[in-house]
Structure 1
């Protein structure tokens, strides 16, 4: 009997110790006043024996635990909601999405790469990146290279580009509308040869033709200086002394002398001395010179807009062998593009000038419906839209119908890099050539449950690709019509 009593007491003490440890852990974790109050009430019930009190306290803990779980669930839902709000428009990038890689009083370099980090919906363009170079009048961007290939497009201003081969430097003038291909690893410098206007260049980066890894837009500066440092200064002094056959003091003088930063103003005579004497290409130079996008007739033009295209099939452009097309659209103020989509190409668009609107249909965004069964059993298209202004970037994946609209104040100019451009077609929903009118009569009538003539009347119009944009719908007999 004594042994049984001692055993029961031991078990009770063990249980009590475990319960206290558990209560202390919970108290430390949450310090919930409700749990303390609830347990005090259990302990003060005179009619309860120890077993009743234990059960009462367990119910207190169970209640508080469930309350904490509900709170965590609400917090998780709130985080998901905030994340959805943040990524409500994953296809549009504004100034805050750019990283300033170089910033001096005479210019800066902004980069936008790793598109897929903003949203998994952009994974199909994760191997590409975009940089914007702004160089003020008579300024110089020091020699540097990237481990990616680049297509430079001169948006605005007059420049000089120097491309360093193994045994010489080739220099070319850059005019507005020029594009030039810079092979991976090529040391490159840029000069703004205008005395007043800023030089603005868009640089589209893609993996070298032999690779497919995502680009990493970190420039390697070969020249001296510490802001940022030269790649040479990374190596140990002993290695540099042996490789360059120079003393430590001589090396410090050469590598540390330049203190102006990576973009800095230069004298007018230095600008003139850097001007190309003659264009080497196509007379045996290593690099192909610039190709102006306006050299060819526009792919399409009417009073409502103009579209220039340069693709891999066009010779002497520098895009040979690349699955890339470069387009430049000028949409007249108060006009719009038709609703259309690319069959193969993913479009990365940079707003050069003007203001307007962008709308796109996307089936991949989460539905706002709270009915989970409805989400699984139906297709819901999300309207992606944005107010466009200079410097913004938007992405249009292949197959996604979209439209661009210019404001009434000024023309909307958009530069586009279209990847996976081979065999791509632009298919329109409205205009002189559209897929609705091209649909055979029987299929058209079945799809719309209307006479084919009525369907054609809606989708056909005399204009093609670019239309006037009427914000206010006309009314006839109380019914809206197009």
Structure 2
């Protein structure tokens, strides 16, 4: 390379160094551009062709940086949160689940414990269980109630309670509850599809702490050999062979042969025990057997509560499933008592929520005036957003396809949700005088606005230039 080429490269490296240093600060983008071009004027002096090349580098950097900043989630979510954790600046959004148990045949992942801002739901944890085809999960129990929604695949679930056993097949749309302390095992019966369960667990010992007890070659290893010899009344050699030291991960998920799967599957069984049918509430239901709560061309809402599925009363959770058409949205609406945990199972979402922030200083009359901040973020598949009671929210199908979200309403006893726009919105029930005093306009003028939309809950979303979201 000639002297002139070396000088050119050196100048461009200086510009690159400048760009790197300014990108880490909080300099105004337009100011960065001006400084960068001035730098070009100062360091370039050997060849007139180098000057436009340097300026072009500034413009390219400015363009690419602007694009990168526009692609970041809103409301302070530019940094990548730890797995399983919410973002410090947006505690309502959880970016990833953290793996608690992970093998080649399957994994169990959970969110962090809900923080102090979510009062009243400290006992709950959200999670996902993924099981590869033809895989068996060995018998286990938890110190928590576990509500499971089958978002994909097929399987067979067996629960053991005392001297009784109940088995049933599950598929997409099924909801089933495993009571606290009950031994359960399941198998993915499909040859090709992964079995995926969205879960909400409610702990019964330490709030938010989950303890997994795996039988077989699991917790028995904690006992001394002589104790197991006495308990099972067998020789130590048999104890070592049967309960030999193995990592739980190696045995939690096991490959099953077609013959073994065939033996485990069949028709649904009621509670089988020596004294006839067990009198107990049913533990599973399919959400599609009930008519949708709301349905139009913009979306469908399926809901299941303790009246439809009495077992939900044990965990105080209601279930909802949102299927929002591409280019549509749900809301604004709010829940009266339940904290809504929404998991994105398919598609891309944009959520906006009104969050109250009380002013620190009271007025001269001693009153405190609430202020409301927009909390928003883009949500990908696998992300979770938590909506506290009373907070108005909008969920928008933001990508190139429809949006599917699984919702768990925590502390759902006597909860109701109210639409704030469209048919049956709460303002349509207000008296004329209340409308006039609230908005400062004649009631008929207000009604033209709040009663113009005739659909319920699901509407056509606004047109956005940046709708694509990778």
TM bin, normalised by shorter chain, reads: 0.7 to 0.9
> Residues 122 and 207 of structure 2 are in contact (CA less than 8 Å); yes or no, is this contact kept in structure 1?
yes
Quick one: distance in 1 between partners of 2:351 and 2:292?
Answer: 23
Quote how far apart the aligned CAs of 1:411 are: 1.2
Q: Counterpart in 2 of 1:299?
A: 293
Which of the residues 197, 200, 204 maps onto 2:196?
A: 200
* Corresponding residue for residue 31 of structure 1: none
Residue 161 of structure 1 contacts residue 174 of structure 1 at CA under 8 Å; is this kept in 2?
yes
Partner residue of 1:166?
A: 162
Determine if contact 2:203/2:210 at 8 Å carries over to the other structure.
Answer: no
8 A Cα contact 1:361 1:400, kept in partner: yes
TM-score normalized with structure 1 length = 0.72
Asked if the contact 1:281–1:288 (Cα under 8 Å) also holds between the matched residues in 2, the reply is: no
- Deviation (angstroms), 1:303: 0.7
Q: Which residue of 2 aligns with 1:115?
A: 114
| Distance in structure 1 (CA, Å) of the matches to 2:425 and 2:161 | 48
Q: CA deviation at 1:264?
A: 2.5
Which residue matches 2:378? Answer: 387
The alpha carbon displacement at 1:189 in A equals 1.1
User: Could you say if the C-alpha distance between residues 86 and 303 of structure 1 is closer, same or farther in structure 2, counting changes exceeding 3 Å?
Assistant: closer
Change (3 A) 1:164 1:276: farther
Contact between 1:336 and 1:403, CA under 8 Å: does it hold in 2? yes
Q: 1:235 aligns with which of 223, 233, 247?
A: 223
C-alpha deviation, 1:395, in angstroms: 0.7
Q: Are the structure 2 counterparts of residues 412 and 241 from structure 1 closer, same or farther at C-alpha, using a change threshold of 3 Å?
A: same
Q: Which residue of 2 aligns with 1:60?
A: none
Give 1:468's aligned residue: 460
What is the distance in 2 between the residues matched to 1:276 and 1:319?
Answer: 26
Query: Which digits, 9 at most, give the CA deviation of each residue in 1:138-193, with x for residues without a partner?
Result: 11111110011111111110011111222243221101111111111011112111
Greater share of residues in strand: 2
SS at match of 1:319: helix
Preserved contact between residue 169 and residue 268 of structure 2 (Cα < 8 Å): no
Closer/same/farther in 2, CA of residues 277 and 338 from structure 1, 3 Å limit: closer
Q: CA deviation at 1:470?
A: 2.2
TM-score (norm 2): 0.74
Residue 347 of structure 1 corresponds to: 340
Shift of 1:379: 2.4
Matched position secondary structure for 1:359: strand
Larger deviation: 135-144 or 161-170? 161-170
Residues 218 and 113 of structure 1: CA distance in aligned 2, closer, same or farther (over 3 Å) = farther
Shift of residue 289, structure 1, vs aligned partner: 4.5
**Counterparts of 1:132 and 1:408, CA distance in 2:** 23
Matching of residues 202-351 of structure 1 within 5 Å = 202-207=198-203, 214-224=207-217, 230-256=218-244, 260-280=250-270, 284-285=277-278, 288-314=282-308, 316=309, 318-320=311-313, 322-351=315-344
Residue 377 of structure 1 deviates from its aligned partner by: 5.1
Q: Distance in 2 between matches of 1:321 and 1:106?
A: 31
Distance 2:169 2:269 in 1: 9
Mapped contact 1:279–1:289 kept (Cα < 8 A): no
Q: Distance in 2 between matches of 1:86 and 1:324?
A: 25
Structure 2: 5+ residue stretches without partners: 1-79, 466-470
Higher helix proportion: 1
Please provide the CA RMSD for this pair: 2.7
1:163, 1:188 within 8 Å by CA — same for their partners in 2? yes
What is the match of residue 431 of structure 2?
440
Distance 1:152 1:472, change over 3 A: closer
On the 8 A contact 1:161/1:190 being kept in 2, the answer is yes
- Contact between 1:145 and 1:219, CA under 8 Å: does it hold in 2? yes
